[in-house]
Amino acid sequence: MNILTVQDLCKTYGAGDTKVEALKNVSFAVSKGEFVSVIGPSGSGKSTLLNMIGALDYPTSGKVIIDGRDIYTMKEEELSVFRRRNIGFVFQAYNLVPELNVEENIGLPILLDYKKPDQQYIDELLDILGLAERKRHLPGQLSGGQQQRVAIGRALAAKPAIILADEPTGNLDSKNSRDVINLLKLSVERYRQTLIMITHNQSYASFADRVLSVEDGIVTELGGGAR
């Protein structure tokens, strides 16, 4: 079953001499529980693609279908709710709320949806992420690697249809980077989570089930990663 289908996706910025085709007729599908990495040089269109899939920007043309819903046919408010419930984000910059502790940051997407977090599941995430001892700590009291673990927990908290990770190891040293990649892979295996990850690092890309390459706005399939 495809959890994500991208059909003829195009994104153009500017016009005339300043026209830039950031994405050119991109089409691919991702199955539920699949881990897909996206590689390519800076400026190739990787982040643009992730923004389109994550409903953070609108395409010039084409479709993005998540869990059977054509997301760009939704009105803005409906799309905002859909994104909150169905898409988890892990950014390079963590984007944690500094005034909230670890546990509160992880549960934030659920609270924003006016729901009560499943405490047993949150406790399980804290344990898996190695944060149980630090659940009352504020982000400023954590290392970069620990902050990124909190961001992964936040992305998993609402049990979304898909997780999008944009250079999640970009601000981390090699040991913390490997830990974060292993935790993301564990989330795929343990929770049958679907993950799309942008990375510059070829060895981290190889952790995925499939690797897509983006160059000059064109997406090509490179096949399976190394298990």
Phi, psi of 34 (to 5 degrees): -95, 145
* CB neighbour list of residue 58: distance below 8 Å, 6 or more residues apart: 52, 72
Please state, rounded to an integer, the average pLDDT across all residues of the chain: 91
d(CA 165, CA 36): 10
What is the SS3 assignment for 217? Answer: coil
With CA atoms as reference, report the closest residue to 174 among 134, 131, 204.
Answer: 204
d(CA 167, CA 177): 10
User: Which homologous superfamily does the CATH classification assign to the domain defined by 32-55+75-223?
Assistant: P-loop containing nucleotide triphosphate hydrolases (3.40.50.300)
With CA atoms as reference, report the closest residue to 106 among 118, 177, 170.
Answer: 118
Whole-number pLDDT of residue 78: 94
Give 65-98 pLDDT, tens digit per residue.
Answer: 999 999 999 999 999 999 999 999 998 888 999 9
* CB neighbour list of residue 163: distance below 8 Å, 6 or more residues apart: 87, 88, 89, 90, 155, 156, 184, 187, 193, 194, 195, 196
d(CA 127, CA 154): 14
Give 103-146 pLDDT, tens digit per residue.
Answer: 999 999 998 888 888 899 999 999 989 999 999 999 999 999 99
- Is the pLDDT at 227 greater than 50, yes or no? no
Please state the domain extents for the chain. Answer: 32-55+75-223
Binned at pLDDT 50, 70 and 90, residue 188 comes out as: confident
Whole-number pLDDT of residue 114: 86
